[in-house]
Amino acid sequence: MLKRTTQQSTTATVADLLRAMTGRFAVTITYAKPEETSIRTIEIHDVLTSKDGRIIVLAADRGGVRTFHPEKIDAYTLLHRVPFTMAPPAGYDRPVPVPRSTAQVVALELGRDDWSGKPLARAA
């Protein structure tokens, strides 16, 4: 089902993207860039928080590994029946933790903030 990000909160959008990451299924997004709008099917490998608090989605598509910002995603569809097919980026072939409570989500995000941020450097 197509979801429009203008009709829901950023929290709901990020929760859906995290669900796709932990379930290891693809997501089709409509992504607005300054010069154009594109439609891409991505496989999300990580959701990071930058030092300034901005959420960054690290995902693979046919062009390689890219970063996406949820506020630039206009619409998306979770493809529950389409499993990951592309090789994960270096360092992301590890099991993905699946938080089961709000406290676990907070602990996971705090742990990400304490990390050195190497995935952002690799993705650039």
Kindly give, in sequence order, each residue whose CB lies less than 8 Å from that of residue 76, ignoring residues fewer than 6 positions away. Answer: 2, 3, 5, 13, 16, 17, 27, 28, 29, 30
User: Mean pLDDT in runs of 10 for the chain (124 residues)?
Assistant: 89 90 91 88 89 88 86 92 75 63 74 50 38
C-alpha span between 80 and 77 (Å, rounded): 9
Which helix (H) or strand (E) covers residue 99, if one does?
A: none
Whole-model pTM: value is 0.69
